[in-house]
Chain A
Amino acid sequence: MGDGSSATGGNRGLTGGNSNNNTSGSSNKPQWLQQYDLIGKIGEGTYGLVFLARTKSPANRGKSIAIKKFKQSKDGDGVSPTAIREIMLLREISHENVVKLVNVHINHVDMSLYLAFDYAEHDLYEIIRHHRDKVNQNINPYTVKSLLWQLLNGLNYLHSNWIIHRDLKPSNILVMGEGEEQGVVKIADFGLARIYQAPLKPLSENGVVVTIWYRAPELLLGAKHYTSAVDMWAVGCIFAELLTLKPLFQGAEVKATPNPFQVDQLDKIFKVLGHPTLEKWPTLANLPHWQQDIQRIQGHKYDNHGLHGFVHLSPKSLAYDLLSKMLEYDPRKRITAAQALEHEYFRMEPLPGRNALVPSQGEKVVNYPTRPVDTTTDFEGTASLQPTQPVSSGNAVSGNMQGAHGVTGRSVPRPMLGMQRMQPQGMTAYNLTSQAGMGSGMNPGGIPMQRGVTAQAHQQQQLRRKDPGMGMSGYPPQQKPRRM
């Protein structure tokens, strides 16, 4: 795929990179890492960590890169399936509104994978939060429409390639910062994405998907087979959130069991959209939780308050018409990405544009904050409060990072809320030279120590997951506005 290793070019470079030799001692870093200056950590999630780095190669000097590090999967499971799946999907796709993989690196010390993407300064989570908490003003209509259009454009590409994203939420929708691609939307984080033509098992066996606030009703009711329509439901939720700066269906998640059946979430949906009926949604009767939980779900009576009231739109507006078609209960009637792109809403002024952040004329430009960077964390995901001794510790990154950027190891990390996303990507040609390395050259102290470090980081992540603030929502609980 455009990386120059065509069939004829052969397999050159696939095991590329090298840890040069184990005797040089001049540098402790594996070669693939030497291409980058590490700036710091910008995100983390269940999969691992995301770092901001800059390339050093003369051609792209200073170019910002987001490096997503997957932690090793549990013992005996080999290479992380999430990482492998994300890589294999990203290798096959290419679209302006989808992140693109720039490079894959292998860290042999702990068998972890590092994916390099072009860096995106913003995401919808931060943009919405900025408007809600700092600007106290809605996002301007041009920006909302442009963001939505580009999101649909990327999603239409994915769906026509038989990929369901399955985890769309504001923090996974990235927006490029200053530069040639400013204001361009990039759909990111394909760790849960699936190809849906002829899966060998029903898709529901892949575990619970989608952050609950953006989870489609058929998933909440336990559908065994579901379709790309689940992504469109999530887009509807995101659209509403762009308009109101608040999550539309803010259910409280029952985390005890990994169960897709979330009563509170259904409750929130029914309160806004009214009760689903068999007339409107004939296959409803076949959904497991609908049948099993007749009393709790079907027993409640909900008045239809009207979605338009919640999103402050006139029921006659085109925006409302599109939104209500995205939030259609029956997945078979729900609007598709392709149909949504043709919706009249996008043909009316203001017309959507490529730079979603900068309206063409008149309106004032909002300056969104840059992403907070935790400069105290190294590539191993461990805080390095003391500059580490490269040789003895085998810690490849911290020394370089501090040297190159004058970042003191003692700087206080800024709070990072809702950091669980990965960064994107761009127009760079594929350069998938996966770089082996880190052999003994990096770690003269021996592998066991490194493993210990990794295990520790791993543990920390597990702990963090239990913290509600770091949970799926990303919103601190106390900020939940209750409207009903």
Chain B
Amino acid sequence: MADFQTSTHKAKWILTHQQLVDKYKVANQNAIQTLEKYGATLMEVDADGSLSYPEPQVNAKDNADKHSRPKPLNIEEEQFMRVFYENKLQEVCNNFHFPHKIQATALIYFKRFYLLWSVMQHHPKNIMLTCIYAACKIEENHVSAEELGKGISQDHQMILNYEMIIYQSLEFDLIVYAPYRSVEGFINVMEEFCGDNDDQLLVLKNLHEAAKMEVDKIMLTDAPLIFPPGQLALAALRSSNEVHRVVDFERYSRSILSRQNSEHAISKLVESLNEIDSWVRRYKFPSEKDLKHINRKLKSCWGLSSHDESKKREKKSKHKSRKSSNETENMA
């Protein structure tokens, strides 16, 4: 559907910065509450796609003294974890030679999922793989879960278990608009704008490639949750153009705005583009040391700190009663 204007993407999934901050806060709080209540945070997903809470851990509950309880991740640490796995997601997609569109769709699914949940509640590795699987299904590039699992030596059953939870968390809003196609459109307009001698076309082709790489970077930030794909594309083109110097960007932007009869004043647009740029500049990949630290914390939150204990949990979970995902929702 070409019409972003009437899409669920526009209506429901373009947030203000404050909304984004609030959502992350709520997700973090929910995980912390679960930790306080159950001594662990990791939700269990059964083969039928239903969710259940962690089994209350006896020592955590009885001597609930603050020292023995695992320390929850803070919002920044959660962010790092997502960043790490979003990079992994791009890696996996590249290894499978999936088209950009699939990668972008999977990334957007991943980001939307973690607006609702904390990485403490759902292992980002599982979510990442399931998002890729779902994106392939939606973009008509079907890959079986088995094939996907094999390619990265992961158990594919886990992907199937998570699939429904992902769709639910995304509220079945599965059509997403990635900036790559918008970039293409803008490049086409530039062709008209620049005239079409062969030199120009080559230069434009280089600009196009550079802009795609720039979009790849933008897609790793939270900007896709805040800005529409057209603006993300323009921001990518603008920063690529600063290197390649193909067009007078301001003149070009003005011509686009007049074409689209948009209510956006040019200054408003520039402001958005600047913000997108700053998301890219502020992007931070966690250091090795950070990762180690966060991973250790995460494992204890998940209740997987010791091998024995995790085995025990597995056994127990077979007997315990299942709770509906709705109840988890009430917590979330």
Contacts and interface: CB of A to CB of B under 8 A. Distances in A.
Contacts of B167: 79, 84, 434
B188 to A, nearest CB: 13
Contact of A88 (B12, B144, B174, B326): B174
Nearest to B27: A11
A106 B11 CA distance: 24
Given A91-B175, A162-B2, A13 B101 contact: no
B12 A1 contact: yes
A7 interface: yes
The 10 tightest CB contacts between A and B, nearest first, are A18-B326, A88-B174, A15-B329, A436-B325, A14-B171, A19-B324, A18-B324, A108-B48, A15-B325, A78-B163
Interface in B118-171: 133, 137-142, 144-146, 156, 159-160, 163-165, 167-171
B172 A200 contact: no
Interface string A97-136: 0000000101011110000000000000000000000000
A93 B175 CA distance: 11
Nearest to A197: B2
Given A22-B321, A79-B164, A91-B173, A194 B19 contact: no
Contacts of B14: 7
Given A14-B168, A77-B145, A79-B164, A195 B1 contact: yes
A77 to B, nearest CB: 7
Given A81-B142, A108-B50, A111-B48, A434 B163 contact: no
A16 interface: yes
Given A13-B329, A436-B50, A92 B7 contact: yes
A13 B1 CA distance: 26
B83 to A, nearest CB: 22
B216 to A, nearest CB: 18
B3 interface: yes
Interface in A1-33: 1, 5-8, 10-23
A80 B175 CA distance: 16
B134 to A, nearest CB: 8
Interface of B: 1-3, 6-8, 11-16, 19, 23, 26, 48-51, 99, 101-102, 115-116, 133, 137-142, 144-146, 156, 159-160, 163-165, 167-175, 181, 321-329, 332
Nearest to A6: B12
B168 A106 contact: yes
B49 A22 contact: no
A434 B101 CA distance: 27
Given A76-B146, A108-B48, A200-B141, A161 B2 contact: yes
B133 to A, nearest CB: 7
Interface in A200-238: 200-201, 206
A194 B140 contact: yes
A198 B142 CA distance: 16
Contact of B322 (A1, A22, A198, A199): A22
A77 B143 CA distance: 9
Given A16-B329, A104-B172, A91 B8 contact: yes
Contact of B23 (A1, A10, A16, A76): A10
B52 to A, nearest CB: 9
Contacts of A20: 324
Nearest to A94: B6
A420 interface: no
Given A8-B19, A206-B140, A447-B48, A92 B145 contact: no
20 contacts: A1-B12, A11-B171, A15-B326, A19-B324, A22-B321, A23-B321, A76-B146, A88-B172, A91-B8, A91-B172, A92-B1, A93-B1, A106-B49, A111-B164, A162-B2, A163-B1, A439-B50, A440-B321, A441-B324, A447-B48
Contacts of B163: 78-79
Given A15-B328, A84-B167, A91-B8, 16 more contacts: A15-B168, A16-B326, A18-B324, A22-B322, A76-B145, A76-B156, A76-B160, A78-B163, A79-B163, A104-B172, A106-B49, A108-B48, A111-B164, A194-B140, A436-B168, A437-B324
Contacts of A432: 171-172
A195 B141 CA distance: 13
B157 to A, nearest CB: 9
Given A161-B3, A439-B323, A88 B171 contact: no
A94 B11 CA distance: 14
Interface size class of A (residues with CB under 8 A): 35 or more
Contacts of A89: 1, 175
* A14, A19, A84 pick with most chain B CB within 10 angstroms: A14
Nearest to A12: B329
B327 A18 contact: yes
Contact of B326 (A17, A161, A194): A17
Given A15-B168, A84-B137, A198-B181, A1 B11 contact: yes
Nearest to B13: A7
B203 to A, nearest CB: 24
B85 to A, nearest CB: 20
Given A109-B48, A200-B141, A11 B169 contact: yes
Contacts of A84: 137-138, 167, 174
A77 B140 contact: no
B47 to A, nearest CB: 8
Contacts of A162: 1-3
A17 B330 CA distance: 10
A197 B14 CA distance: 23
Given A11-B171, A104-B172, A92 B133 contact: no
Contacts of B156: 76
B139 A440 contact: no
Contacts of A16: 326, 329
